[in-house]
Amino acid sequence: MFNLDEEKAVFQSLLREAVHTGADLSTLIHAQKARLVAAGLPDGEINHLIHDRHRRAAYRPQWAVQETVLHVPLADIDRARALGARRHLANNVWVAPAGADLNRFRRWLR
């Protein structure tokens, strides 16, 4: 008998290992997916596990080495501020602080 939580943990660790090693995911996914379906895990949740792992593996932060000028329209000021942007009063521009992940500010970079 399968323990559902253990099977999910095994599946996640196998996905993590396959992404790091570049192994063929299709064979791994089909084999593990069959085991998880047999254990009673809904197909939708299995697909969520797969896509979540791929999304996290594909994300790479882009760190700002210095303050980076942002082109923030008036309508987005509150959102930019919430993400950590600062306004330079002397230059009247918005900047992403040094050390910030620029992916968060991608829409305002030029």
56's CB contacts (< 8 A; 6+ apart) are: none
With H, G, I as helix, E, B as strand and everything else as coil, classify residue 59. Answer: coil
Q: Please tell me the pTM assigned to this model.
A: 0.47
Least confident window among 33-37, 51-55, 101-105: 51-55
Query: Which tens digit of pLDDT belongs to each residue from 66-75?
Result: 999 999 999 9
Domain borders along the chain are: 4-58, 68-108
Q: Is the predicted pLDDT of residue 15 greater than 60, yes or no?
A: yes
Hunting for tokens 């980076």 — which residue is that?
68
Q: Is the predicted pLDDT of residue 47 greater than 90, yes or no?
A: no
Of the two residues 72 and 30, the one the predictor is more confident about is 72
Task: Enumerate the β-bridge partners of residue 67.
Answer: none
Query: Residue 73 phi/psi, 5° resolution?
Result: -70, 160
What percentage of the chain reaches a pLDDT higher than 70? 70
Confidence of residue 34 (pLDDT cuts 50, 70, 90): confident
How are beta strands 86-88 and 93-96 bridged, if at all? antiparallel
Hunting for tokens 């792992």 — which residue is that?
53
Which among 65, 109, 60 is positioned nearest to 83, based on CA atoms?
Answer: 109
Query: Which tens digit of pLDDT belongs to each residue from 73-110?
Result: 999 999 999 999 999 888 889 999 988 888 889 899 98
Of the two residues 29 and 92, the one the predictor is more confident about is 92
**Structure tokens given for 49:** 């596990």
